[in-house]
Chain A
């Protein structure tokens, strides 16, 4: 799952960076960038970290 989280995190960046080419309006770009940020946060906090927490030292 950690690898999936990395992919989601990176795709969030790609989405935000490509917003300048995909959209022409400021509002559209902002919306796409915000979606990208949320994707990256979900990837880090919602997927990668829980995947690593499964084997946390305090659970042993």
Chain B
């Protein structure tokens, strides 16, 4: 079997090399043909007048009354709203409608992709529940269910204001001008934005259609970060402690880093202030969403400790398999579906400002997920002799996590490379976390979201190819985000500062807040409750009340 796999890997490498060769620029392209000596002068542009507009034919009312089975009479100049009926349709009416259509397209795009991201909660819920034991199914599911409501409440109360309260106008959404308050300190000769101040409970001037779109989209992202932690601490986390911890994370920990990266804070301005590329660039949140969730999960795993029975007295780990691998892989598919909202939706629009790149972002996303699942499956097959299903699913998610930050800045080849690395990195990290650190991460969230989130942030600084153009600038720096491999070492430094912030600041903040909660409230259920399963003691009902679960006899080969 290993020979077959080795042969397959050789073919895979050849294929990659072949594609890379095919994509390399031609070394000796022939010079372009000389331009015609006497090209015809371009005609001067003729402005459109109101008279031209009035001359546009509209379908007659009697024709419309007959119905429109071919669809040729519906959606014509007759449908354009007129500002003054006495004057009739003017150029101003048409131009205003074009502007509103652009914003409407962007609104619909951002909202619908936000709905897809919201659906990822369902994916996380069944992945985590499937990887937990049946005796904790209700408890694990309820944590994933209520993290949505708890996080949203915290984010509405204060979190959104901290994160986006100073972001200013977002061109794709027609301007979110009421979000114009950023608290900053003056350091090293520049302003360092720390947190936003507008938008508390969406009141005052932030009762605005553009702000509402922004809130919905950012809220579902925040909730994704929160639900990562529940996977690591499953099967032993006191439900009340989970509620408090998640509220704090949604209100403060996530929004603070979110502001620095996406709300106009100091990380975003590293480019404009200090010449480090385009500042910290995180297209859809490998760092903001996944690494925050991952490093907080790491802090929780240290504080709460492993499940009883996870490690033997000599420190070697026991495998505690989940109760339903079908749920796990189905959940991974749901997450991958939601990721088509997560990454392409992060353009915050589909019209104008280079937003047609949503197609490239979507393809990058699917390619990296595929590559991640493939490389992790392959690694496990080679190392342990079987293509482990749960690790294949985690590799799939790891590829998606790693491409989240670079998805808007890299080409398809880089996406596949990033995904391949992410899949193996996930498997190696899972082994390291369990065997070296002696930490119990029920779903592998530290590795999937933490390790690969950080890798995704770094990947921007390496693989960004300088071809994207979102309105001509990023983070206020003209031009395109370009990584080290394409000539900009400064971008990599900005990304590394983001990594240092996630490890040094976000981890510390998460650890301190949860350590205080441990001291005053306690995170962990009693040993008796843990051994019995958390469903009855914590939730009052079993996840599967009609099933008597007993071990199956193991049959010899």
Given B187, B302, B308, B503, which contacts A13 in the complex, CB threshold below 8 Å? B503
Q: A13-B508, A49-B302, A58-B311 are known contacts. Are A37 and B503 too (CB-CB below 8 A)?
A: yes
Q: Flag if A13 contacts B188 (CB, 8 Å).
A: no
Bin chain A's interface residue count.
35 or more
Given A2, A9, A30, A59, which contacts B504 in the complex, CB threshold below 8 Å? A9
The stretch of B25-33, B158-166, B492-500, B533-541 in contact with A is B492-500
Considering only residues 35-57 of chain A, those with a C-beta below 8 Å from chain B are 36-37, 39-41, 43-45, 48-49, 52-53, 56-57
Chain A 2-45 per-residue mask, 1 if CB under 8 angstroms from chain B, else 0 = 10001001111111111111000011011001101101110111
Q: Flag if A58 contacts B312 (CB, 8 Å).
A: yes
**Best-buried of A6, A11, A41, A56 by chain B (most CB within 10 Å):** A56
Q: Flag if B489 contacts A6 (CB, 8 Å).
A: no
Any A CB within 8 A of the CB of B521: no
Given B305, B313, B500, which contacts A40 in the complex, CB threshold below 8 Å? B500
A56 to B511, CA, bound (A): 17
> How far in angstroms is the closest Cβ of chain B from A47?
11
Q: Flag if B302 contacts A34 (CB, 8 Å).
A: no
Please, how many residues of chain B have a CB less than 8 angstroms from a CB on the other chain?
39
Considering only residues 419-457 of chain B, those with a C-beta below 8 Å from chain A are 437-439
B→A interface (CB under 8 Å): 187-189, 266, 270, 273-274, 276, 298, 302-303, 305-306, 308, 310-313, 315, 437-439, 489-490, 492-493, 496-497, 499-501, 503-505, 507-508, 511-512, 515
A→B interface (CB under 8 Å): 2, 6, 9-21, 26-27, 29-30, 33-34, 36-37, 39-41, 43-45, 48-49, 52-53, 56-59
**What are 21 contact pairs spanning A and B, CB under 8 A?**
A6-B508, A6-B511, A12-B503, A13-B504, A15-B500, A16-B496, A18-B188, A19-B497, A20-B273, A27-B489, A30-B489, A30-B493, A33-B497, A37-B496, A43-B504, A44-B503, A48-B511, A49-B437, A52-B303, A58-B311, A58-B313
